[in-house]
Amino acid sequence: MSAENNDSLVISTDPLHPANLIPELCRSFYHLGWVTGTGGGICIREGDKVYIAPSGVQKERIEPTHIFVLPYPQAPSLHADRVFLRRPPVLKESACTPLFWNSFDIRDAGSCIHTHSQHAVMVTLLWTGPTFTISHQMIKGVRVAGTGNALSYLDTLEVPIIENTPNEEDLKDSMAEAMNRYPDAPGVLVRRHGVYVWGPDWQKAKTQTECLDYLFEIAVKMKLAGLPTVLNP
């Protein structure tokens, strides 16, 4: 069976099947303002298969039959190199694919979420250095990437910021470098663009993205109010 017609990979009555979950999550993220204008993306890895939302489709209207399925592992650095188990005709694969692969290969993630949240974008404009930092907030929902342990109220959260590029795929190397340089970071911000957040499964990736977005929003408000976002011990 060709990759174009392999519908058995995405047709399921199980509401927790990745091909059913991804449209549901994309609708939720759309209403949060994270994936407007067909932007942003999400992937879920289950065993040796990766399910990815398509590019160029309004996120609140994605259907299971729109989902791309790729085998894992592989090294999808260039379009020509990518192997597909299911590739819907007409639709375009997500430009996020190589960046999602960073989360699998470097963090052993089960899911990665990419948002264009305005809070994330504003953080990258107000924090002009290589990282965003905040402390003494309710950051217990954020997990240390290396251990999975929750941060505490007294900890300082540090998220690396990388510079944007005209083509999203070109962020792959700088994102990987930031992930290796900041092994505890739960995500990577992209200046003037958004954020990538991962987790061992879709539930934890979603929870972590929500927690980070809350912290980005409150940090922006604190910064604009002239309040420090990191306090001395």
Give the residue from 184, 178, 179 showing the smallest Cα distance to 145.
Answer: 184
Q: Which residues are paired to 190 by β-bridges?
A: 162, 194
Rounded to whole angstroms, the maximal C-alpha distance in the chain is 61
Whole-angstrom distance, CA of residue 139 vs CA of residue 156? 9
Please enumerate, by residue number, every residue annotated as part of a binding site for substrate: 96
Whole-angstrom distance, CA of residue 194 vs CA of residue 60? 19
Please enumerate, by residue number, every residue annotated as part of a binding site: 96, 114, 116, 193
Structure tokens at 206: 């979603």
Q: Which residues are paired to 115 by β-bridges?
A: 195
Tell me the pairing of strands 194-199 and 49-52. Answer: unpaired
Region of 47 (left: φ > 0; alpha: ψ -120 to 50; beta: rest) is: left
Is the sign of the CA dihedral 73, 78, 82, 87 positive or negative?
positive
Structural element, H or E, at residue 31? helix 18-31
Please enumerate, by residue number, every residue annotated as part of a binding site for Zn(2+): 114, 116, 193
